[in-house]
Amino acid sequence: MKKIAVAIAGNPNSGKTTIFNMLTGAHQHVGNYPGVTVEKKEGLCKYKGYEITVVDLPGTYSLTAYSIEELVARNFIIDEQPDVVVDIVDASNIERNLYLATQLIEMNVPLVLAFNMSDVANQKGLVFNLEQLSELLEAKIVPTVGNKGEGKVELLDAIIATVQQGKVKRTHRISYGEEIEEELAKIETVITDNEGQLTEKYSCRWLAINLLEEDRDITAKVKSREVLDVAKGGAEHVKDIFGDEPEIIMADRRYGFISGACQETIRSTVESRHSKSDIIDAIVTNRLLGLPIFLILMYLVFQLTFSIGTYPMSWLEQLFGWAGKAIAGLWPTGSEHWLKSLLIDGVIGGVGGVVAFLPNILLLFLAIAILEDTGYMARAAFIMDRIMHRIGLHGKSFIPMLIGFGCSVPAIMGTRILENRRNRFTTIMVIPLMSCGARLTIYALVIPAFFPEKLRGPMLWLIYLIGILLAIISAKVLRLTVFKGETTSFVMELPPYRMPTLKGICIHTWQRGWLYLKKAGTIILAISIILWAAMSYPKPSSESLMGLNSEQVQQAKVAYSVAGRIGRAIEPALAPLGFDWKIGTALIGATAAKEVFVSQLAIVYAVGSADEGLQTLREQLQANYTPLTGFCIMLFCLISTPCVATIVATKTETNSLGWALFQFAGLTTAAYVITFIVYQMGSLLF
C-alpha cells in the first residue's frame, strides 16, 4: 500500500474541519504541535490502494510569521514536506480565501484547491469557470460541500493525480510589478550564490519574497551578510517608491492578481441582496436585544449541561456504586483487606468521581460545538466584548468563565475557543474562582449550620459574588503583570451563519470527551490512589481501637493516617484562619475533589456516612465553631487550591506544569491571606 501525506490548509471558517472529517471519518487523533498549544489533528483515510495520512493545519488567513498558528502551518509544510497540500477555499467568499492559495503557490507546493460550500456559492448566484481558474492558479480545483459529504471521491482522485504528477515548475506567477520584481530578481541572484543550503528546502523565489517582506523567521535563517544587505536595500527602495511597507504593497498585488483571475472566471448571476446572515445579525447584535438573547442562550447552555447532565451522571454514579459493591463481594463481609479498600475507596471513589462528570462535559462541548459551528460564537464575543474588555479579557472569555460555575475542568478545556495566548491563560488562571458545583456541597453543609433561614440565600449569593469579584480583580492584575500586553488581534471575522452537521458536532464532542477520559484514567487515577493512601495509612494498632464503636474507629484511623498527621502539623498555620486539625485534614481531602471535604469532615467527626449524618454533622459544626469560622471555611474553599482534576486540566491546556503550579500556589496564597484578614478582622468585630 502506497503512503501519501496530505496537509489541509485554509482560512478559519472555510469549513476546513468538515472536509477533514469527511476524509477521515472517525479515524482521528488529536494532539498538540510540538512545543506549542496549537491543536494538531491527524487522521487516516484509505482509498484506491493508498494510505493517506491527513493533517489538519491551523486555520489561517496567510502564512506570515506573525502568529503561532501561521508559523506552525508554514513550518509544517516546509519541514514535513507533505505530498499534497489541500487548500480549503470558501467558494462563497472566494477572493479573501484565495489569498492563502497565492502564498501556497509561491511556496511551490503540490496543491489542490477544494472549493468548499459550493452549494452556498451557487445560491449566491456565483458561476465558476473552474477549468480556466485552475489553469491560472496551476492547481486542480474540486468543488466540495463538506457538511453534506459531496466531492469526497473527486477530491481524493485529485489528490492522487497531483501526487503522481510530482513537483511541477509553475509557469504563471503572481507579478508584483516592475520595481518589486527587479528587487526580487536581485535577491534571488544573491540567494543562489550564497545560500545553497536554504534553497534545498525553500523555493528561491519564496525566500526572496519573504526577505523583501522582512519576514522575521526567514530573515533569521539567512546567514549571508550579502543577502541580508541586498534584501534590506530592496525593502528600503520599495518603501521609498511606494511610501508603504513592502509586505502591504505585495499583499495588495496578490489581491490584485486574485481579483483579475476572478473577474475572468467568475460570473455573478444574481444581484447581491440582504442575506439571511444579515437579517439574523440585525437581530442578535441589536443594541437592545443582543445582550438578552445572549444571556438566554447562555442560560440554555448551562441548563443543558447541568440539568440534563444530572440523569446520566446519576446512572454513572449508580454504576460505580454497583461496581463497588460487586468488588466488595469478593471479600467476606467486614474484611479490612487493603486491596479492597484501594479498589473501592481509591480507584472507584477517585476515578468514579471524575468520570461521573463525563456527561456534563460531553453536553457542554456539544453546546459549544453547536454555538461555534453555527457561527454564533463570534457574535457572542462581539456582544460581551465591551464588558470583558474592561477587565482585559476577550469577549469569548465569558463563555468558559460561565461554564466554571458548573465545573472548572470543562471550563478550562473550553478556553480553547480563545486564540490569544495571554487572554487564554488569564482566563484559565481565574476560572477556579467561579464557584463550581462541587463547592456548592460545602456551602450546603456549612450555611444551614450557622446562619438563620432568612440569611441563607443572601449568604450563598455573597460567596458566589466574592468569587466573581476576585476573578475580575485577578484577571485585571494578571493582565497588568504576568500577561501584560495589548489585547491583540482584536480583529475577528464574523462568519456567515451555517447549519451545523450532526457528524461534525459528534466528532467534536467525542474528541473532547475522550481527552477527558484519558486524563481520568491516568493522572487522576494515580493522584486518587496517593490521596487514598494518605487517608488510610499508617493504620493504628488494633489494641488502640478496642472498645470503640465503628464511627470512632474511623475517626481514630483518620487521625492516625498521614493526612491526619499533616492536618495536625499544619494546625498552627491554620489557627489564624480559625481552623483546627479536623478542618485541615478535610481540606487535604478536598484537593482530590471539593466535595470530599464534606465526607472527610463526616469521618473526622465520626458521624457516619455524610448523607445520613448531614444534620448531625451540622450540629457538630455548630457546637465546635463560630459562624465566622463557618464563613471562613466557605471562603477558603472558594478561593483555595483547585482540585486535582483542575490542576491537571490547567497543566494539559497550558502545556506547562509551571502554570499549573503557579495557579495552585497563587490561589492557595490568596485564600490564606484573604481568609486570614477576614478571620482576624471578624474576631475583633464580633
Write out the residues near other proteins by the rule CB under 8 A. Answer: 61-62, 64, 66-67, 92-96, 99, 244-245, 247-248, 251-252, 255, 277, 281, 285, 287, 378, 381-382, 385-386, 487-496
Cβ within 8 Å of residue 277, ≥6 positions away: 375, 496, 497
In the complex with other proteins, the residue whose CB is nearer, 469 or 480, is: 480
Q: 504: exposed, middle or buried (C-beta count within 10 Å: 0-12, 13-18, 19+)? A: buried
β-strand pairing of 39-47 with 28-32? antiparallel
Closest distance to other proteins from the beta carbon of 178 (Å): 18
In the complex with other proteins, the residue whose CB is nearer, 62 or 616, is: 62
Q: How far apart are CA 287 and CA 454, in angstroms?
A: 38
Closest distance to other proteins from the beta carbon of 501 (Å): 21
In the complex with other proteins, the residue whose CB is nearer, 13 or 599, is: 13
Neighbours of 342 (CB within 10 A): 16
Quick one: cell of 624? 465546635
The 3-state DSSP class for residue 589 equals helix
Closest distance to other proteins from the beta carbon of 253 (Å): 9
Q: How far apart are CA 44 and CA 28, in angstroms?
A: 7
The 3-state DSSP class for residue 9 equals strand
In the complex with other proteins, the residue whose CB is nearer, 100 or 156, is: 100
In the complex with other proteins, the residue whose CB is nearer, 372 or 385, is: 385
In the complex with other proteins, the residue whose CB is nearer, 91 or 412, is: 91
CA quadruple 119, 120, 121, 125: dihedral sign? positive
528 neighbors 347 (Cβ within 8 angstroms): yes
Residue type, position 569, single letter: A
Q: How far is CA 148 from CA 18, 19, 500, in A?
A: 9, 10, 10
In the complex with other proteins, the residue whose CB is nearer, 288 or 499, is: 288
Neighbours of 686 (CB within 10 A): 8
Closest distance to other proteins from the beta carbon of 204 (Å): 22
Q: What is the largest CA-CA distance in the chain?
A: 100
Query: Residue 663 pairs with which residues in a beta bridge?
Result: none
Segments of 162-244 assigned E as strands: none
In the complex with other proteins, the residue whose CB is nearer, 93 or 641, is: 93
CA quadruple 194, 199, 205, 210: dihedral sign? negative
* Residue closest to 116 by CA, chosen among 504, 508, 512, 511: 504
β-strand pairing of 2-10 with 50-56? parallel
Closest distance to other proteins from the beta carbon of 95 (Å): 5
Cβ within 8 Å of residue 258, ≥6 positions away: 95, 98, 99, 102
In the complex with other proteins, the residue whose CB is nearer, 133 or 434, is: 133
What spatial distance separates the first Cα and last Cα of the chain, rounded to whole Å? 80
Q: Which residue has the cell 456567515?
A: 496
In the complex with other proteins, the residue whose CB is nearer, 193 or 493, is: 493
* Residue closest to 180 by CA, chosen among 136, 236, 225, 221: 236
CA dihedral 546, 548, 554, 555 (to 10 degrees): -110
In the complex with other proteins, the residue whose CB is nearer, 200 or 271, is: 271
Closest distance to other proteins from the beta carbon of 418 (Å): 15
Closest distance to other proteins from the beta carbon of 90 (Å): 9
Closest distance to other proteins from the beta carbon of 423 (Å): 13
Closest distance to other proteins from the beta carbon of 19 (Å): 19
* Cα angle: 244, vertex 247, 252; to 5 degrees: 80
In the complex with other proteins, the residue whose CB is nearer, 225 or 287, is: 287
In the complex with other proteins, the residue whose CB is nearer, 243 or 452, is: 243
In the complex with other proteins, the residue whose CB is nearer, 167 or 287, is: 287
Reduced 3-state DSSP string for 95-128: HHHHHHHHHHHHHCCCEEEEEECHHHHHHCCEEE
Closest distance to other proteins from the beta carbon of 160 (Å): 31
Q: How far is CA 331 from CA 115, 343, 547, in A?
A: 64, 12, 25
Q: How far apart are CA 552 and CA 593, in angstroms?
A: 24
β-strand pairing of 266-268 with 126-128? antiparallel
